Amino acid sequence: MQRRKYLHGLLVTGTLAVAGCTSDETTEEEQTEATPTEEDQDTDNDEESNEVTETDGDETEEDEADEEETNGNGRPDMVNHGHEIVENPENNPSIAVDYEVENAGDGDAYFLETVVDWYDDEGEYIDTDSETIWLLRGGETWRAQIPAYSLSGEEDRIEDYEISGSFDEQGLSEPPEGVEATESELLVGEDSAEVRGTVVNNSESTVEFLDVIPRVFDADGNHLQDTYDNVENFEPGDEVSINLSLFAMNSRYQEMDSVELHLAT
């Protein structure tokens, strides 16, 4: 299966010096560094063939039909809405990158991963952190937050970062009809959050392996994060309780508003 990128070409770079905002202005030196070489351009052209936003204008009806069959309801189309580095001394770690991406297509995207590479004041690579969600439906927006967990206690080493992302167009299958979540609840504290719920099997089939994915949203319906549990050998008539903790920067907990239990096989 081929991964698709939603931040493509050269990696997108941010600077700690503009913490809390992303400037559109660049110095002559920065422009020079960001100018791709002929070899880079060749590489970018190769990569662009894998971008969901790329079209050649010559698609046949057969090609379009194949695309529609990718996940049964069209194709995802990722639209980037910006990113910024944020600092909050009350959090541990105290530095993170906030990034917003919208699935403007009519197909679902699966296993979305946003990766942040951290750099010091000499431009040397330090470490990498990433965040992943299982599912972003068409029309939904992911407000990703990628804390510098790998550099907790050493955040003062961070000067710059690079951000990239990818996703799959196939991934999750629906469980049999009758396998459903009957209850779900999001409990949020000052510095913690947990999800509770109930899943029942009212079908006539045994589900050998059921994925239970709590998807957490803010008050505006934006996807914040998710977590994961699974149930094995889920037989007809069975009922299971779900109780999972969510991990985030302290400031993010207060943005959590609702939860949806997504079931997949």
Residue 236 is part of a domain; what is its CATH number? 2.60.40.3230
Query: What does the pLDDT look like over 42-55, one tens digit per residue?
Result: 444 444 323 333 33
Integer Cα distance of 8 and 4 in angstroms: 9
Confidence of residue 103 (pLDDT cuts 50, 70, 90): very high
Task: Please check the confidence at residue 11 and state whether its pLDDT lies above 80.
Answer: no
pLDDT over threshold 80, residue 217: yes
Mean pLDDT computed over 200-218: 96
Cα 235 to Cα 108, 172, 208, 209, 260: the distances in Å are 29, 20, 8, 10, 23
65 assigned to some structural domain = yes
Residue range 30-49: average pLDDT? 41
Beta-carbon count within 10 A of 160 CB: 19
Under the banding of pLDDT at 50, 70 and 90, the label for residue 19 is: very low
* Domains in the chain, number: 2
Question: Reading across the β-sheet that carries 239-246, which strands appear in turn?
Answer: 179-188, 193-201, 239-246
The reply to whether 45 and 143 lie within a common domain is yes
Identify the band that residue 6 occupies on the pLDDT scale cut at 50, 70 and 90: low
- Evaluate if residue 152 carries a pLDDT over 70: yes
Looking at the structure, do residues 207 and 91 belong to the same domain, yes or no? Answer: no
User: What tokens were used for 17?
Assistant: 């010096």
The answer as to whether 132 is a domain residue is: yes
> Are 216 and 152 found together in one domain?
no
Domain co-membership, 52 together with 159: yes
**What residues contact 87, with CB distance under 8 A and at least 6 apart?**
19, 20, 94, 95
What distance in Å separates the CA atoms of residue 123 and residue 161, rounded to the nearest whole number? 9
Residues 110, 172: contact at Cβ < 8 Å? Answer: yes
Decide if 137 contacts 229 (C-beta within 8 A).
no
The answer for residues whose C-beta is within 8 angstroms of residue 90's C-beta and 6 or more apart is 250, 251
Give residue 172's pLDDT: 84
Residue 22 pLDDT class (50, 70, 90 cuts) = very low
Token reading at 210 = 């059921």
| Alpha carbon distance 102, 144 (integer Å) | 11
Most confident range, picked from 1-15, 60-74, 176-190: 176-190
Residue 119 and residue 211 share a domain: no
Last residue of a domain, one of 148, 168, 188: 168
Contact 103, 195 (CB under 8 A): no
User: Does 173 fall in a domain?
Assistant: no
Task: Please compute the mean of the pLDDT values over residues 196-222 and round it to a whole number.
Answer: 97
Question: 39 and 140: one domain?
Answer: yes
Q: Over the chain, what is the mean pLDDT?
A: 80
Q: Residue 174 domain-assigned?
A: no
Question: Model-level pTM?
Answer: 0.76
Domain range for residue 119?
4-168
Return the minimum-mean-pLDDT range out of 20-34, 149-163, 192-206. 20-34
Regarding whether 196 and 143 lie in a shared domain, the answer is no
- pLDDT for 251 equals 85
- Under 8 Å between Cβ of 6 and 52: yes
